[in-house]
Amino acid sequence: CAGRREVGHLRLADLTAVHLDDLYRKLLTTGGRDGKGRAPRTVRYCHSVLHSALADAVRKAVSNELAAR
């Protein structure tokens, strides 16, 4: 996903839907190599990758929390 520069500096706890909406908007309008927007399919793929990564992070945090008990 091409959003590393946009949201990569944020801690997971600080990441909000507004950050992701801004990322998707930027990818659609100016996120391409030539300054043009990326294709909607590419942005959907980026969303899928981020969704999976965030779900994994939540799952791992919960399992670590349970293991610590």
Q: Work out the number of other CB atoms within 10 angstroms of the CB of residue 45.
A: 13
Long-range contacts of 6-9 (CB under 8 A, 24+ apart): none
Tokens of 53: 């990564």
**Distance (Å, whole) CA 38 – CA 2:** 10
Indicate if the pLDDT at residue 45 is higher than 80. Answer: yes
Q: Residue 69 has what pLDDT? A: 65
Q: What is the pTM of this model?
A: 0.79
User: What average pLDDT score do residues 47-68 get?
Assistant: 84
DSSP 9-45: TS-GGG--HHHHHHHHHHHHHH-STTSSPPPHHHHHH
Indicate if the pLDDT at residue 66 is higher than 90. Answer: no
Tokens of 52: 């999976």
User: What average pLDDT score do residues 29-56 get?
Assistant: 91
Q: Residue 49 has what pLDDT? A: 92
